[in-house]
Amino acid sequence: MKKLYIKTFGCQMNENDSEKVYLLLKDEYELTENPLEADLILINTCSVREKPEHKLYSEIGRFKELKKKKPKLIIGAMGCVAQQEGEKLLERFPYLDLVLGTQGFYRIREALEEIAKKGKPAVYTELKEDFKIPLILSNEKSSKRHRVKAYINIMQGCDNFCTYCIVPYVRGREISRPPEEILKEAEELVKKEGVKEITLLGQNVNSYGKKEKDYPDFADLLERLSQIDGLLRIRFTTSHPKDLSEKLMKVIAENPKVCKHIHLPLQAGSNRILKKMNRKYTREEYLEKVERLRELCPEIAITSDIIVGFPGETEEDFLETIDMLERVRFHEVFSFKYSDRPYAVARNFENKVPEEIKEERLKKVHEVQARITKEIYNSYVNKEVEVLVEGISEKDPTKLTGRTTTNVVVNFKSPRLDLEGALVKVVITEAGKHSLKGEYKETLVL
Ligand code: SAH
Ligand code: SF4
Ligand code: F3S
């Protein structure tokens, strides 16, 4: 067996793509954690902000010497930066053998054959409007693996064109996968690999099936998946606030397998900025949806993404973002400094915010949110929660770790440590900054 080393940057979509690449290659390659012993090195890249893009460049740079010593080594870049830069990457890194875009990576075997035959780099960066994600199921070999959690990609691309964002350009148009394939993939994961929790992935899962004739909508897809025996939990990400329907809210509230958590990126609190971002909702509409969601499902945890320093964002606009944090009280917030991206139209907007101000605003978001998260986490203390056990805690091997339905990490003491994949009841004893501590109470599903 040859050895494959994959380094993945970026979102869960990318993690899932790396997994698929492994499945495509597993007859010939086994995974290694050590790039020095690899025959094939793949770097799966993200270009959503400038920082992750640069990680690719330093990562490829790292392997230059290795390639000199091992000329047969194949080095490839895949994912969003590969899509964005295409052949240009070969100019910058002449020792690169493979450039596989966000659709091209499914053809990795063909690309490897091409390299072997022609002895020169292969570049697959076509982005088709009618691309069909191939169905790649794990077979015998991977079925020996046991996993508690897995991802399923239910759609690709994005049609929203938020003005700051590169994703629609590097991931192409929004296309949903056929429901039968999604169900088949889910059933296999549950049956063959013992998966208990599935996270459905898409840039905007709420618009699943909208463009395709005869497809169920996202709420119906959730209902269908929840009928799979042995599957205990379903999560999904990301939801766009404009497409969050009453029907979906009801399914979240009423279906016991659907986790009580929604990632609902707000991005900014000022209507003026939201408009310039092309987000297609106002702060009032966002608040209304949150209120309705909580009316239907009081225990729901809402998390969010925030961008600070979008072009033209004044102090007043920014304070409206802070005001939204206080009003909504998210469980957790991922916040980013705005950065110019290729293709994204906001790069041509005027009144760019200076770096120091972005830095200050980011700090302020962190401060305010840290307090709110702490208050929310404290409110779990002395309560009983259901935790899906993911395994032994990495930090403390005498404890188990898992998550609540609201997606909060819980590390807890337990008389038994062999509970991976079980759903257990835990009493929360202490709240930390990023997780909760607790004690095992009873097993609900083994
Ligand atoms: N499709 C998802 C998110 C995709 S990108 C959604 O719509 O929510 C993940 C996050 O990165 C975004 O929510 C946004 O907060 C952030 N982001 C995207 N482009 C950015 C940019 N140019 N600068 C800073 N943050 C950005
Ligand atoms: Fe980017 Fe907006 Fe699409 Fe999300 S919805 S991927 S932020 S364009
Ligand atoms: Fe990054 Fe591409 Fe995901 S840009 S966030 S890896 S869709």
Q: To which residue do tokens 């206080």 refer?
A: 326
- Asked whether 339 lines ligand 1 (CB < 6 A), one says yes
- Confidence bin at 60 (pLDDT 50/70/90): confident
- Confidence bin at 59 (pLDDT 50/70/90): confident
pLDDT at 427: 98
Residue that terminates a domain, selected from 94, 124, 154: 124
Residue that terminates a domain, selected from 107, 124, 141: 124
46 annotated among ligand-binding-site residues: yes
- Confidence bin at 214 (pLDDT 50/70/90): very high
The Å distance, Cα 440 to ligand 3 centre, comes to: 37
Say if residue 236 is exposed, middle or buried (CB neighbours under 10 Å; 0-12, 13-18, 19+): buried
Mean pLDDT of 2-16: 95
Residue 63 in any domain: the answer is: yes
Q: What is the pLDDT of residues 92-118, one digit of tens each?
A: 999 999 999 999 999 999 999 999 999
Residue 95 in any domain: the answer is: yes
Question: For the range 22-26, what are the long-range contacts, defined as Cβ-Cβ under 8 Å and sequence gap of 24 or more?
Answer: 23/136, 23/137, 23/138, 23/142, 24/106, 24/108, 24/109, 24/136, 25/108, 25/109, 26/141, 26/142
Residue 145 has pLDDT above 80, yes or no: no
- Asked whether 305 lines ligand 1 (CB < 6 A), one says yes
* CATH number of the domain enclosing 427: 2.40.50.140
- Confidence bin at 141 (pLDDT 50/70/90): low
pLDDT at 143: 52
> Which ligand 3 atom sits closest to the C-alpha of 9?
6
Alpha-helical segments (H) within 297-354: 315-328
Residue 140 has pLDDT above 60, yes or no: no
Is-contact 121 97, C-beta < 8 A? yes
Mean pLDDT of 163-182: 96
pLDDT at 290: 98
Residue 93 in any domain: the answer is: yes
The Å distance, Cα 291 to ligand 1 centre, comes to: 24
Q: What is the pLDDT of residues 279-310, one digit of tens each?
A: 999 999 999 999 999 999 999 999 999 999 99
Residue 12 has pLDDT above 90, yes or no: yes
CA atoms within 13 A on the CB side of 173: 11
Among 13, 14, 49, 162, the mutation site with the greatest number of ligand 2 atoms within 8 A of its Cβ is 162
- Asked whether 165 lines ligand 1 (CB < 6 A), one says yes
CA 179 to chain centre: 20
> Which ligand 3 atom sits closest to the C-alpha of 44?
6
pLDDT at 139: 63
Query: What is the residue with the minimal CA distance to atom 13 of ligand 1?
Result: 305
Say if residue 242 is exposed, middle or buried (CB neighbours under 10 Å; 0-12, 13-18, 19+): middle
297 annotated among ligand-binding-site residues: no
- Confidence bin at 360 (pLDDT 50/70/90): very high
165 annotated among ligand-binding-site residues: yes
* CATH number of the domain enclosing 25: 3.40.50.12160
**pTM (two decimals):** 0.95
Residue 262 in any domain: the answer is: no
Q: What is the mean pLDDT of the chain?
A: 95
Which residues form the domain of 438? 384-445
Among 16, 47, 54, the mutation site with the greatest number of ligand 3 atoms within 8 A of its Cβ is 47
Residue 181 in any domain: the answer is: no
Residue that terminates a domain, selected from 124, 148, 170: 124
pLDDT at 144: 62
Mean pLDDT of 49-72: 87
Mean pLDDT of 223-230: 98
Residue 251 in any domain: the answer is: no
Residue 159 in any domain: the answer is: no
Separation between Cα atoms, residue 304 and residue 347, nearest integer Å: 23
Number of structural domains in the chain: 2
pLDDT at 408: 98
Is-contact 386 424, C-beta < 8 A? yes
> Which ligand 1 atom sits closest to the C-alpha of 337?
24
Percentage of the chain with pLDDT > 70? 98
End-to-end CA distance of the chain: 36
Residue 238 in any domain: the answer is: no
pLDDT at 294: 98
Q: What is the pLDDT of residues 380-415, one digit of tens each?
A: 999 999 999 999 999 899 999 999 999 999 999 999
Phi and psi based region of residue 181 (left: phi greater than 0; alpha: psi -120 to 50; beta: remaining): alpha
